Amino acid sequence: MYAYEILFNGNKLKLSGVERKWQILSVTGLNPTLSTLNEAAIVGQPGVKFVGSKINKRAITLTIRVNHPCEDNRAELLRFLASNNEITLHITTDRKDLYIDGKVEMNDYNIYTQSQTMMVSIICPYPYFRNTEERITDSVVSTGGFTFPFSVNVDDTIRFDDLSILDKLIVYNYGQVETGLKIQLQFFETVIDPVVYNVDNEDEYIGFKGEYRLGDVIEINTNINVKERAVLIRNGQRTKILNKLMSGITWLKIKNILVLKLSTSGYMTIYNHDELAGI
């Protein structure tokens, strides 16, 4: 069973489960999108060779039957699905909870028919569906230090757990496509030139020049179409630090498993979403 919901300007509109107002007749564009293959001829040989490829944008079309009173229900739909609205389409199934961002390209209907049908075209520049659940992987591990039964003097302290820092952080991707990450670094002391690198390929790394203090936080985002790639948070102030990036860096991605290590003292927290090419 599929359920659809539209998010626009902080508000939600249910498209499923409100049959007295409208019903979704069909949804197209949920399968993997087409790719563009760039080819080149091979001199003196049959066939061609591939020299590049890219995944295209996604086009989703909703076909909705609008029930009586048509004018009122149509107006409610148009508050969310008017042309040029930037929306989020939330899709839930028995096994998945996904969303995708897009812009309404067209909303077409005929008000002079007894049974009104609305066709809504949504263009999604980033073609993959993202899992709503964000996976958080932290290099700080808590080990329980408190057990029952226990005995303690009134003036003694009780240790509830012990904290340790993992030397390496293993991040998993259970989706269908390679995705970016949000990496957060926090420091216990003053460090110089911190670097996060891929343990399996140390040529892949992200590093920052300069000195960073106790309490500083660096946020790195390797996802596509983000406003802030690298930010330093110091005393509550956010400062972009792209100019501090070392030369030769790689915007780290994860396909299946990624093992990361921090070159200095401190700890890492990794945030990532699974993404699907189609539903």
Mean pLDDT of the chain: 91
Please state, in angstroms and rounded to a whole number, the distance separating the CA atoms of residues 68 and 65: 10
Q: pLDDT digit string (tens) for 87-123? A: 999 999 999 999 999 999 999 999 888 789 999 999 9
Nearest in space to 215 (alpha carbons), one of 240, 229, 232, 197? 232
What per-residue confidence (pLDDT) applies to 146?
A: 54
Per DSSP, 61 falls in state: E
The rounded Cα 237 to chain-centroid distance in angstroms is 24
pLDDT in tens, 234-262: 999 999 999 999 999 999 999 999 999 99
pLDDT score for 213: 95
Do residues 269 and 127 lie in contact, with contact meaning Cβ atoms separated by under 8 Å?
Answer: no
Q: How far apart are CA 29 and CA 134, in angstroms?
A: 24
Task: For residue 99, give the nearest of 6, 212, 224, 203 by alpha carbon.
Answer: 6
Lowest mean pLDDT across 1-10, 54-63, 131-140, 236-245: 131-140
Hey, what amino acid is at 106? M
What was the pLDDT predicted at 163? 57
Percent of the chain with pLDDT over 70: 91
Of 41-50, 142-151, 178-187, minimum mean pLDDT range: 142-151
Residue 69: count other Cβ atoms within 10 Å of its Cβ.
10
Residue 42 has pLDDT above 80, yes or no: yes
pTM: 0.86
Of the candidates 178, 214, 172, 201, the one whose C-alpha atom is nearest the C-alpha of residue 261 is 201
pLDDT digit string (tens) for 117-165? 999 999 999 999 999 999 999 986 655 555 666 566 666 665 555 556 7
Q: Which pLDDT belongs to residue 160?
A: 58
Supply the pLDDT for residue 119.
97
